[in-house]
């Protein structure tokens, strides 16, 4: 009985320590906007989906304004496979014809977005799902991609179809929702001047929204521990200049290059900090925000 009482007391002390450690961070970020790019394993494993939803609800309950932007590449691949449709990728971007765009919009705007909204609402929050079409939130423009030609002469221009980039963000609907106590959950589908839908990289959409909202923090959940050094060690704090040096010497390579470069505009526009964190860790968002140690890489202007 005495041993059980001691264990319960130790457990209570640990909880009290965690709450005490979190308190100054809660005070610092109260009333601030946090943009979270949600992707990777955190979107596909049930325990991680549940912990993420609880993290987002807690942020709102303690007075912060979380805004979630999500991807959905694996889910799109799965449905396209079931339909027997294959797609090509150029420079990491999916060539998106009209039929593929219908699938992309169905998965992102329908299935994935509503699943996230449901998870947050079940955790006690009030989430609202959006695409760029809602309130004219994301105005897009079509992008073209050039690649070296086979003969080495003029570069080939690839028609990417319904692949776009962010032309502008109108945050009015986001302000209305946040002021009303709601948590916006955004699918990265924009609309062009011609009324056509465009598939946009979710990292870029999240970064542009963070920039437009003058967010305190921009967080990206990934399937890595963060940015790693040549010896595999976690690099916990980097400036934009240090990032470019790591790209130049090959330390940062592959798919991490566009991810880290997507944070430059938000940082230069006034977003205080960017965090690349390990979405495979339960409660990754809370651990990064409310503990002294953090669990990822912090990026800053200088």
In a domain, 256, yes or no: yes
Average pLDDT of span 47-70: 96
- Residue 236 has what pLDDT? 85
Q: Is 142 exposed, middle or buried (0-12, 13-18, 19+ CB in 10 A)?
A: middle
Residue with tokens 């221009």: 157
Highest mean pLDDT range out of 34-38, 193-197, 266-270?
Answer: 34-38
In a domain, 11, yes or no: no
pLDDT single digits (tens) 77-105: 999 999 999 888 887 788 899 999 999 99
The answer to whether 110 touches 141, Cβ cutoff 8 Å, is no
- Residue 253 has what pLDDT? 82
In a domain, 276, yes or no: yes
In a domain, 76, yes or no: yes
In a domain, 21, yes or no: no
- Residue 145 has what pLDDT? 80
Query: Residue 53 sits in a domain of what CATH number?
Result: 3.40.1160.10
In a domain, 26, yes or no: no
In a domain, 159, yes or no: yes
- Residue 224 has what pLDDT? 85
Residue with tokens 């909204």: 117
Domain total for the chain? Answer: 1
- Give CA–CA dist 57/165, Å, rounded: 30
Range of the domain at 286: 31-300
Q: Is 293 exposed, middle or buried (0-12, 13-18, 19+ CB in 10 A)?
A: exposed
pTM for the model stands at 0.90
In a domain, 14, yes or no: no
Average pLDDT of span 256-266: 82
């Amino acid at each position: 009985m005495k041993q059980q009482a001691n264990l319960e007391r130790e457990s209570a002390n640990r909880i009290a320590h965690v709450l005490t450690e979190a308190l100054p961070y809660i005070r610092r970020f109260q009333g601030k906007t946090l943009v979270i790019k949600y992707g990777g394993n955190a979107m596909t494993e049930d325990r991680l989906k549940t912990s993420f939803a609880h993290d987002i609800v807690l942020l709102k309950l303690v007075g912060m304004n979380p805004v979630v932007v999500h991807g959905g590449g694996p889910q799109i691949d799965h449905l396209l496979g079931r339909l027997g449709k294959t797609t090509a990728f150029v420079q990491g971007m999916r060539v998106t014809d009209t039929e593929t765009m219908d699938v992309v919009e169905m998965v992102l705007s329908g299935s994935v977005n509503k699943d996230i909204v449901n998870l947050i609402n079940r955790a006690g929050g009030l989430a609202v799902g959006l695409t760029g079409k809602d309130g004219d939130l994301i105005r897009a423009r079509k992008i073209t991609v050039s690649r070296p030609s086979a003969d080495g002469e003029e570069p080939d221009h690839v028609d990417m179809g319904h692949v776009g980039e962010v032309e502008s963000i109108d945050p009015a609907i986001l302000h209305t929702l946040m002021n009303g106590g709601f948590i916006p959950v955004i699918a990265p589908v924009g609309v062009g001047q011609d009324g056509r839908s465009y598939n946009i990289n979710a990292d870029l959409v999240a970064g542009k929204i963070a920039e437009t909202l003058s967010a305190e923090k921009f967080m990206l959940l990934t399937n890595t521990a963060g940015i790693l050094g040549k010896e595999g060690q976690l690099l916990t704090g980097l400036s934009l200049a240090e990032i470019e040096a790591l790209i130049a010497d090959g330390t940062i390579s592959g798919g991490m290059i566009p991810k880290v470069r997507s944070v430059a505009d938000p940082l230069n526009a006034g977003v205080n900090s960017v965090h690349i964190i390990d979405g495979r860790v339960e409660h990754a968002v809370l651990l990064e925000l409310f503990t002294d140690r953090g669990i990822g890489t912090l990026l800053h202007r200088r």
